[in-house]
A and B are shown apart, each in its own frame.
Chain A
């Protein structure tokens, strides 16, 4: 027997649960919906520190080893068995002797002739005949630098009676030309030479 539908019964207001139950349910819900923290980016600070140190070390070592020296067909440094760094950073005037010319600082002083192995630099650049060892334009350039260096040494309290030179010469430079350059350096009061060589080479004479 069907009862006729009556008016909807009003829902009785539910009695709220106790505070303890509410808090327990809240804790459970929070625990359920907790999202594990997701790694959205890599912490690369430590790696950046490391790379910066390596980069600085590389730049420092390259600068001290004068890696910027251009190696070309015209200038190839001789190899030496020496593998140690010089005691202190050598200072002095750079005298560069390539296959084709002699350069002091950044100034070309004279060309190197093809027959330098026999007579050295051409006679017109010498003080007397071609057998002379003094190279006039090289001596003038050295003397100019020497005068400046002497004043600097006096002002800084170092020995003003001598200057130093760094000799950067090509492997094939003949000994005759080397003696002319060293003689001219000695005449210009350069009392110490640093000959630049490549580290770790073998004993080959390039005969």
Chain B
């Protein structure tokens, strides 16, 4: 009966030898470089660099030099906004449609159109009111809807940050309407 057949000693020996797990030679088992320590170092360095670096994302505000008033040709009779903002120590003087805008930005008048605001005991420019004023003036005359130019002038001592904040305030309305993104800087008389 084949089930009761026993292997001979030679056969058992051969079975043992052939069933033994094959050991890899040194050149076979070193198939990939162990770069885990290297990766540890790189990760640490990367984390350190990211934690210590001061990332500053910058952008640009474009401007052109002032032009002579006679250089631009406009169709006669078309009302032009010609927004002009002067930054002074007490606020903003606003001129539009060839006349000065009065206090509160409600119509022609004299004085400072938008005064300073006091917030948390600190006096600062009211850029929100300037934004609303620019929007109101832009929407006042339909023909001026496509006008995107404005002139910003300031007193000699006004710091650069206030100028940039003024430019930002008249760039776009809160609802996304484009107001006056093209800025020309004027020279105070």
A186: chain B residues at CB < 8 Å are 65-66
A110 touches B (CB below 8 Å): no
With A and B bound together, what is the CA distance between A36 and B4 in angstroms? 32
Are A183 and B162 in contact, with the CB atoms below 8 A?
A: no
Contact residue among A14, A55, A178, A191 (Cβ-Cβ distance under 8 Å from B160): A178
With A and B bound together, what is the CA distance between A185 and B185 in angstroms? 13
Within 8 A of A (CB), among B37-62: 39, 42-43, 46, 50, 53-62
A203 touches B (CB below 8 Å): yes
B76 touches A (CB below 8 Å): no
Are B39 and A174 in contact, with the CB atoms below 8 A?
A: no
Q: Known contacts A18-B5, A178-B185: does B57 contact A172 (CB below 8 Å)?
A: no
A199 touches B (CB below 8 Å): yes
B83: chain A residues at CB < 8 Å are none
A62: chain B residues at CB < 8 Å are 53, 55
A103 touches B (CB below 8 Å): no
Contact residue among A25, A51, A175 (Cβ-Cβ distance under 8 Å from B158): A175
Give B7-45 as 1s and 0s: 1 = Cβ < 8 Å from A's Cβ atoms.
111110011101111000000000010111001001100
Give A68-82 as 1s and 0s: 1 = Cβ < 8 Å from B's Cβ atoms.
010100000111111
B61: chain A residues at CB < 8 Å are 80, 82, 194-195, 197
A155 touches B (CB below 8 Å): no
A204 touches B (CB below 8 Å): yes
| Chain B interface residue count, Cβ-Cβ cutoff 8 angstroms | 64
Give residues in B with beta carbon < 8 Å to A.
2, 5-11, 14-16, 18-21, 32, 34-36, 39, 42-43, 46, 50, 53-66, 87, 116, 123-125, 127-128, 154-165, 167-169, 171, 185, 187-188
Can you sample 14 A-B contacts with CB below 8 Å? A26-B18, A29-B18, A30-B18, A33-B19, A69-B58, A82-B61, A84-B59, A86-B60, A171-B159, A193-B63, A197-B59, A198-B58, A199-B57, A199-B59
Contact residue among B7, B60, B124, B168 (Cβ-Cβ distance under 8 Å from A21): B7
Contact residue among B10, B163, B165 (Cβ-Cβ distance under 8 Å from A203): B165
Nearest chain A CB to B187 CB, angstrom units: 5
Are A82 and B56 in contact, with the CB atoms below 8 A?
A: no
Contact residue among A44, A170, A175 (Cβ-Cβ distance under 8 Å from B155): A175
Nearest chain A CB to B51 CB, angstrom units: 13
A90: chain B residues at CB < 8 Å are 60
Contact residue among B58, B64, B66 (Cβ-Cβ distance under 8 Å from A77): B58
Q: Known contacts A174-B158, A207-B116: does B32 contact A41 (CB below 8 Å)?
A: yes
> Which of B10, B39, B168 has most chain A Cβ within 10 Å?
B168
With A and B bound together, what is the CA distance between A17 and B4 in angstroms? 9
A57: chain B residues at CB < 8 Å are none
Are B21 and A197 in contact, with the CB atoms below 8 A?
A: no
With A and B bound together, what is the CA distance between A196 and B164 in angstroms? 10
Nearest chain A CB to B170 CB, angstrom units: 11
Contact residue among A15, A133, A195 (Cβ-Cβ distance under 8 Å from B63): A195
Within 8 A of B (CB), among A99-130: 117-118, 120
Are B124 and A207 in contact, with the CB atoms below 8 A?
A: yes
Contact residue among A55, A78, A183, A192 (Cβ-Cβ distance under 8 Å from B187): A183
Are A191 and B55 in contact, with the CB atoms below 8 A?
A: no
Q: Known contacts A30-B18, A85-B59: does B164 contact A79 (CB below 8 Å)?
A: yes
> Which of A30, A82, A176 has most chain B Cβ within 10 Å?
A82
A17: chain B residues at CB < 8 Å are 5-8, 11
